[in-house]
């Protein structure tokens, strides 16, 4: 690549970008940004602009950019053994070491990990394991999966179905018929103003119970959920939610699958979101933070209870009929090993908790009482500023005004990146765990300035 290569033109002519208006991009009506470098919490683009990345890429560059330890581990692995597969009992030093490191960190009742490439395929693996399990247990009718409106679990046919966002279904003939969506735990959008958090939890539980009753518990295999809803709007569960939901699931022998793709490896200030909320999942999905996105790698973690069935299933059915060429890719695994070591050495999980709490406090001080801010919420290194047309009624802004996009655009002009959450009027933050208090201050100041510039005042 030469400095003078017309990359901008090549980009418009050749590249179909995800989550992008394809026609507008090709016609030059969508801004393009070619990113060339990163260091700590910052990225740099081809025009020399530097940004404080308040979203860690797509909540994945958890240890920050430019970590030489990880780059060197990747290079060393590529030189020594760039690839070998994991089929029929094969492995590499890196993949075996990483499996051990993951299971050392996972909750005690978890047993083993299956490696994939990204969050979508790891969720796909977990769906297949759940179905396989119920076939082996002699209950082939117990296959439906309940996920939640606003949940995000991926973009594949099955995982896109689990995702509870209309944009991921419309025009793709989704969701597939085995998937049902129950209510989102979005207290800000509670059905009645006077509801307390506890009452809202009771309402959500009753909605779930009615769905299970309607469908028949004997047809429902699993409940799929992120500990904190991410892409759906950065939404923390209301008080008492997880214990109450788990009670229902246990009663009906429905598995709990915790999608920890965003929350895994420290984002909530604990190693896993399940730990944070006292969840006891039967399966877990991990990706992003496993390698801090230095290389693609994901995992499907099964509990001892699931493992026991898989063990029995193998004796009955033979080898597992499921695998990707790149399962446990050694370069991804080497990145994962170096990444998890770094997280421990620098206590980045502790930092995510500490600086995340600081960010939320400062954001609340700056914007908590602002007339067009309905709520500031956060947990660990996740923070959300919910915009409103009217604070007293919590009415959503007119979508035609595109206020969230305007706020985030203003911030970008000022050198900081937040995410206009695509399915809510929410300015979202998910910074790298190495964020400093001074950088948190900068995010807050520039958010407040952008909100004031867009709404006035």
Taking contact as CB under 6 A, which single stretch among the options 74-82, 118-126, 352-360, 361-369 is the one that binds ligand PMP? 118-126
Minimum separation from the CB atom of position 221 to ligand PMP (A):
18
The residue with its CB nearest to ligand PMP is 119
Which strand ranges, in their side-by-side order, compose the sheet holding 373-379?
373-379, 382-387, 426-429, 419-420
Please, what is the angle between helix 68-80 and helix 330-345, to 10°? 150
Taking contact as CB under 6 A, which single stretch among the options 174-182, 217-225, 256-264, 382-390 is the one that binds ligand PMP? 256-264
Handedness of CA 114, 118, 121, 123 (dihedral sign): positive
Q: Which of 44, 98, 35, 70 is nearest to 293 (CA)?
A: 70
Which strand ranges, in their side-by-side order, compose the sheet holding 35-39?
35-39, 42-45, 50-53, 416-417
- Which CB, 142 or 329, lies closer to ligand PMP? 329
Near ligand PMP in 42-71, by CB under 6 A: 58
Question: Does residue 340 contact residue 70 with C-beta atoms inside 8 Å?
Answer: no
Minimum separation from the CB atom of position 292 to ligand PMP (A):
13
Taking contact as CB under 6 A, which single stretch among the options 28-36, 115-123, 166-174, 313-321 is the one that binds ligand PMP? 115-123
Minimum separation from the CB atom of position 168 to ligand PMP (A):
11
- Which CB, 159 or 364, lies closer to ligand PMP? 159
- Which CB, 121 or 442, lies closer to ligand PMP? 121
Q: Which of 130, 66, 89 is nearest to 284 (CA)?
A: 130
Taking contact as CB under 6 A, which single stretch among the options 116-124, 127-135, 139-147, 391-399 is the one that binds ligand PMP? 116-124
- Which CB, 153 or 406, lies closer to ligand PMP? 153
- Which CB, 289 or 397, lies closer to ligand PMP? 289
Widest pairwise Cα distance in the chain: 69
Minimum separation from the CB atom of position 241 to ligand PMP (A):
17
- Which CB, 326 or 455, lies closer to ligand PMP? 326
Handedness of CA 224, 164, 417, 334 (dihedral sign): positive
Answer for which of 64, 119, 227, 397 binds ligand PMP (CB under 6 A) is 119
- What is the distance between the alpha carbons of residues 285 and 121, in angstroms, rounded to a whole number? 10
Minimum separation from the CB atom of position 231 to ligand PMP (A):
5
Buried b (16+ CB within 10 A) or exposed e, 329-354: bbbbbbbbbbbbebbeeeebbebbbb
**Is residue 237 near ligand PMP by the rule CB under 6 A?**
no
Backbone φ, ψ for residue 455 (5° rounding): -95, -15
| DSSP tag of 123 | H
Helix (H) / strand (E) element for 439: namely helix 437-455
- What is the distance between the alpha carbons of residues 245 and 279, in angstroms, rounded to a whole number? 10
Near ligand PMP in 156-195, by CB under 6 A: none
- Which CB, 232 or 397, lies closer to ligand PMP? 232
Taking contact as CB under 6 A, which single stretch among the options 166-174, 258-266, 322-330, 376-384 is the one that binds ligand PMP? 258-266
Answer for which of 55, 115, 131, 152 binds ligand PMP (CB under 6 A) is 152
Number of residues that bind ligand PMP (CB under 6 A): 15
- Which CB, 4 or 19, lies closer to ligand PMP? 19
Taking contact as CB under 6 A, which single stretch among the options 66-74, 112-120, 140-148, 449-457 is the one that binds ligand PMP? 112-120
Q: Which of 149, 58, 207 is nearest to 424 (CA)?
A: 149
Answer for which of 287, 297, 302, 434 binds ligand PMP (CB under 6 A) is 287
Question: Does residue 381 contact residue 356 with C-beta atoms inside 8 Å?
Answer: yes
- What is the distance between the alpha carbons of residues 366 and 368, in angstroms, rounded to a whole number? 6
Taking contact as CB under 6 A, which single stretch among the options 245-253, 257-265, 368-376, 414-422 is the one that binds ligand PMP? 257-265
Residues of this chain that interact with ligand PMP (CB under 6 A) are 58, 118-120, 123, 152-154, 226, 230-231, 259, 261-262, 287
């Amino acid at each position: 690549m030469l400095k003078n290569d017309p990359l901008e033109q090549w980009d418009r002519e050749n590249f179909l970008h995800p989550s992008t208006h394809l026609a507008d991009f090709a016609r030059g009506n969508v801004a393009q940004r070619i990113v060339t470098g990163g260091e700590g919490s910052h990225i740099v683009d081809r025009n020399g602009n530097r940004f404080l990345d308040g979203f860690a890429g797509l909540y994945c560059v958890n240890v920050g950019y430019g970590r030489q330890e990880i780059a060197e581990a990747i290079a060393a692995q590529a030189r020594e053994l760039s690839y070998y597969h994991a089929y029929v009992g094969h492995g590499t030093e890196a993949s075996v070491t990483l499996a051990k490191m993951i299971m050392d960190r996972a909750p005690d009742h978890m047993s083993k990990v299956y490696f994939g490439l990204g969050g979508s395929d790891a969720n796909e693996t977990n769906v297949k394991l759940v179905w396989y399990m119920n076939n082996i247990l002699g209950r082939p009718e117990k296959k439906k999966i309940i996920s939640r409106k606003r949940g995000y679990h991926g973009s594949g046919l099955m995982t896109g179905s689990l995702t509870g966002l209309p944009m991921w279904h419309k025009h793709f003939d989704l969701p597939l018929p085995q998937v049902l969506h129950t209510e989102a735990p979005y207290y800000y959008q509670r059905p009645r103003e006077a509801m307390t958090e506890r009452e809202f939890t009771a309402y959500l539980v009753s909605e779930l119970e009615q769905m299970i009753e309607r469908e028949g518990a004997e047809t429902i295999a699993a409940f799929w959920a992120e500990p904190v809803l991410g892409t759906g709007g950065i939404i923390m569960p209301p008080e008492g939610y997880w214990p109450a939901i788990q009670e229902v699931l246990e009663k009906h022998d429905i598995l709990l699958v915790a999608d920890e793709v965003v929350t895994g490896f420290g984002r909530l200030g604990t190693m896993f979101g399940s730990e944070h909320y006292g969840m006891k999942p039967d399966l877990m999905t991990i990706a992003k933070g496993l390698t801090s996105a230095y290389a693609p790698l994901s995992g499907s973690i099964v509990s001892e209870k699931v493992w026991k069935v898989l063990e029995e299933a193998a004796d009955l059915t033979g080898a597992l009929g499921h695998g990707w060429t790149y399962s446990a890719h050694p370069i991804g695994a080497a990145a994962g090993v170096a990444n998890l070591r770094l997280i421990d050495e620098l206590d980045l999980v502790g930092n995510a908790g500490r600086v995340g709490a600081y960010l939320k406090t400062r954001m609340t001080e700056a914007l908590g009482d602002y007339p067009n801010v309905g709520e500031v919420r956060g947990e660990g290194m996740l923070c959300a500023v919910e915009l409103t047309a009217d604070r007293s009624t919590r009415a959503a802004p007119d979508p035609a005004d595109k206020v969230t996009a305007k706020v985030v655009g203003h911030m970008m002009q000022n050198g900081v990146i937040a995410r206009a959450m695509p399915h809510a009027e929410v300015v979202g933050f998910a910074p790298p765990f190495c964020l400093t208090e001074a950088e948190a201050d900068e995010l807050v100041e520039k958010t407040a300035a952008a909100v004031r510039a867009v709404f006035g005042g």
